[in-house]
Structure 1
């Protein structure tokens, strides 16, 4: 007739399979008999056999003067008997909630501080949101911007214009800019014209044969990296450990890169093999296919294959397999190191 606070039935009539009901409910027969007992003061025990739950839940008790009769328990007493365990459980749960609140209170205080750090990693979706975050970060930059710009000879004009609009205010504020390109950028007229706009020493440009994905770091406090190849999704990183790690990666590549103003990265070999072909030779020996080599060196596949053909001619190779062997035997990779 009554249900526990947790939602489970305390009991149903186990002696009469035809008389089950939830303990929070009063069956029609039980209600009628209990009301009759309250009005008359007692009912025959035989009548209660139709609703044994009245005895199971102590709504009736034997008449001390005549065991053949049953007397009702006062409704207030019966209700108190049912409410007491429920109220006890409520009180216990309230006590537990207070204990949990006290445990978490110190952490809530820390979380609510105004000077709490910003999110360590923020996902930026869409070019508008990415550019807005970049504009904000560069606008707040005061010391140095580090950038890694992979890609080949061709850069979309609008991308160069965006970079120009973003870099010019930095230079005017005295912010240092260091940018890494791939060697193929040396053959991009647009890229070289862009670099020529900043010749006052605050902007430095170097090239290297291979680069990781695009990277922008402002004041060693915030970094931006792409998530997808189409660059429609980027991560804004503000975790100090992550940013420091990316700065070290940049410095590692910067130390091995060649200033753009220094001309060719290293001298062309006597056999006519160029710097780009040295890089291609290295990747061929490592087992990369033409498409992967072109992508990593920032050139199209046709140009890459033209360089491979010139490399094969210079080494006297008649097949791709022989070319790898001749590259390794020539020692040219050791010389490039």
Structure 2
């Protein structure tokens, strides 16, 4: 199979991913015409990219798809492939070049601080969430499945990449839900998934706004139907959202399972992510092993694997490069 430029995809899949990035959303029929491929072949390639987390269903047009932003999707692909040596290994340098080129091109064309559809909103959030360092809090109102505040599976497929990115970078992820959102099967399933990943969840009776607050320094406020979003970067608007999120979190109640037991949340991320973060902070192998409660040999095996995947010549270069490429 012909390989691509080193980001971990074969040439056909990479060509399709690049084409998807050139538009907000595409149908398989449109992609087939653009790439001169049969629609059935395009659908097969899309399915593969969805499995890898590089493509999600459009939140606006049934049957259409959009690309997940490279700054979110490609580090996640690298993280997974590091533990699957039988698969094509992405190269850190190739991913870094790909992401920088895409962001340079995107910034030259437009750098929006607002979105006017679900797909635009999701893309905007992905670009901003990639900068999260400390804390991300989601305010998730509920609503009737048929109403403007709907809770559906496509909504949660869109949010999985950004939650994974935040947790992988070591940020604390908190999510406030309403009871009505959790009563919907798709909402309940997604809440369980978030808890399994290590996010903290609470619920309240109602939420006056749908928003995502990043590091307390910027927020994305989203309309009830998720078709309009605006970035709040400072001033009174950001202060009010921060205060509201803190107050609601303090009032929120922890989630409980159907059996009445508290839903367990906590760090359940791969050990290698923590090893890389501690490595980037300058800790020794012994110190990392003590922090994680594992053997020094285990830590050194993780570091050797990371050095190979990141084309690093030293353990310290591996930690620095992991941060540069967005792996942590």
Normalising by structure 2, report the TM-score. Answer: 0.39
- Higher CA-based Rg: 1
TM-score by length of 1: 0.39
